[in-house]
Structure formats: C-alpha cells, structure tokens
Amino acid sequence: MASPASAAEAAAAPTVSAKGAFLINGSTGAKVFGKGSDTKRQVASTTKIMTARVVLSQPNLNLDKKVTIKQAYRDYVVNKGASTADLKTGDKVAVGTLLYAMMLPSGCDAAYALADTYGSGSTRSARVKSFIKKMNSKAAFLGMTNTKFDSFDGISSTGNNYSTPRDMAKLAKSAYGYSGKFREIISKTKAVRYGTASNGNRRTYTWHNTNQLLGSYSGANGMKTGTTTPSGPCLVFTAKRDGKVYIGVVLNASDRYRDAAKLLDYGFGSRTASTMQLRQLPENAQRD
C-alpha cells in the first residue's frame, strides 16, 4: 500500500506562487513537497511560533500568571507600525491570554510582553535579548540549522531574522506536537478573552485570527501568518482530516492561502483549492 507521501507524489506536484514552500506529514515529519526548501528568507510574524514554543516550554509554566501591560509595549507597535492586540496600559493579563493576543491578531505588543516576562535581566532590553537567545537555543535544539532570530515578533532591524521552509516546518511540527494549549489557540478563528484594568474593572478583548485558511479549508486548524516588506506574505499552516495531519510553509507567496490549499490537497489527495472561499475578516480586525 502506498504511503501518504508516495501517494501524493503519484499525483502532479502543485505549482505555487511562493518562492519557498515545504509540506510534511505531520505525524512522521516525512517531506511531501519542497520548493527552495533550504533558501534563507525573512519569516515575519511566523517568528511568533517560536516565541510561543519558548514560552510554553518554560519550567513550571503558569498560564494564569498575570502580566502588567507596560506603555512601552504600546509605544513599540506605534513606532513600528506593527500589528497589535491593542493591549491597554496597566491591564493585568494572564500569560495564556497573551498567547491568544500574539497568535490570533498577531499582537506584537503581546509578543513583547511575553519576551519581557520570560527573559532574564535587570532591564527590559536585557530581558528581551535574553529571550531571543532562548529562541535561538531552541532553534538549535530542534535542528533548525539555517535559522536565526533577532526579534521576538519577526520585525527585524538588521535582516538577521530568517529561516527556511524546511526549518519552519520543523518548528511547526514541534510546536504542534508539544502543547495542547498551542493547538487550541491556533485553531480558533476568534477569541473573547479578559483582562483586569488598573481600576479593577474587567476588560473584554475580542480578537480575530489573521489566518484566513481557518474556516475556509476543510480541516485547517492552524497556524500563523506573517507579512513584512522584506519577507512578503508568509504562512505556516496545518490541517487534519481523518486522523491525518499535514503541516506546511509558504514564504514570500503572492497567493499564500491558495498555495496552502494546493499543498494540502496534494497531501490529502483532494481537489478543493480551486473552489475554496476565503473567510473574510471584520473591517476593524488586524491584518498580517
């Protein structure tokens, strides 16, 4: 009997717009498709998968731990023109909620808060530097030999925040398999979460997932978008059907969702990419 990979290879390999792409069997890690697999590219906010992976692997992690939102996090997203969860200064927000804030609306403010919380040092810049060091250590541990991070969110001032389709697939497989909480978060098209304002009142946050593959492609259940001018549109994605999981990456893709659907169809042996209707984001939702 043909393995899923060889069955996929028997069909015509798809043509994708992405300059780099990779698809693996989510259970075995076996390669199903590759294009520019080992070419280094900037990966924008798909970097946040690693930020989440590092946070979730902290010893004695308490997802209910409260983090106070600093004005610096808000100033950062304004200065960078970055995607934001619009976290309010002085709010106390649980770590688990910050993970939603980072992964759904692609909040760079939330990523900053997590890096500041889980890095070590006496200053914010030292803590952030320490956290990024943890990201690079985790990349080395996962065998991501063509990857370097210089930011917690993919906004790189030096261009030294890069990976490859193959390496990002390794990261995605690790994150997907490591934490049920991570799988829960990345599968949500929308989340309503709460914080405590500085006056003690409850704050309601509503976030929509920037990943439009969710709710559009049958079985899609993650993972993360990313877009900057140097990186182009990027997407790390995963889908599960009939117990089979595929995980894929497209970097610098002019039609990233159609690319992802084509690659998943290739894995699953289906033909739904051409008829897929993309879930539309509300007008006020973040785009990434």
Rounded to the nearest integer, the mean pLDDT of the chain is: 96
Q: What is the mean pLDDT of residues 274-287?
A: 96
Candidate list 35, 45, 138, 156, residue with the active-site label: 45
Mean pLDDT for the stretch of residues 275-284:
96
Residue from 83, 106, 174, 216 carrying the catalytic annotation: 106
Residue 169 contacts residue 67 (beta carbons within 8 Å): no
Query: How much is the pLDDT for 1?
Result: 43
Cβ atoms of residues 110 and 98 within 8 Å: yes
Residue 24 to residue 131: CA distance in whole angstroms: 29
Instruction: Return phi, psi of residue 233, to 5°.
Output: -70, 130
- Nearest one of 171, 99, 178 to 141, comparing CA atoms: 171
Question: At residue 10, does pLDDT exceed 90?
Answer: no
* 106 assigned to active site: yes
Task: Indicate the pairing of strand 31-35 with strand 20-25.
Answer: antiparallel
- Give CA separation, 258 vs 16, 138, 181, 267, 275, in Å: 8, 31, 27, 14, 10
Does residue 254 carry a catalytic annotation? Answer: no
Model confidence band, residue 34 (pLDDT cutoffs 50, 70, 90): very high
State the pairing for strand pair 20-25/244-251: antiparallel
Adjacent-strand bridge partners of 109 = none
What pTM was estimated for this model as a whole?
A: 0.96
Task: Determine the number of helices (DSSP H) and then strands (DSSP E) in the chain.
Answer: 9, 11
CA distance 195 to 208: 17
Take residue 138 and report the two structure tokens written for it: 């985790």
- Residue 181 annotated as catalytic: no
Average pLDDT over residues 248-261: 98
User: Which one-letter amino acid corresponds to residue 265?
Assistant: D
CB 160 within 8 A of CB 148: yes
Average pLDDT for residues 13-29, to the nearest whole number?
Answer: 97
Given the structure tokens 């983090």, which residue do they identify?
Answer: 67
Whether the per-residue pLDDT at 182 is higher than 50: the answer is yes
- Judged by average pLDDT, the poorest of 3-7, 153-157, 263-267 is 3-7
Mean per-residue pLDDT, 103-125? 98
Question: What's the longest Cα–Cα distance across the chain?
Answer: 64
Q: Which of 6, 35, 37, 48 is catalytic?
A: 48
pLDDT tens digits, one per residue of 141-151? 999 999 999 99
Q: What is the dihedral of CA 232, 259, 174, 42, to 10 degrees?
A: -10
Asked if 270 and 250 count as a contact pair (C-beta separation under 8 A), the reply is no
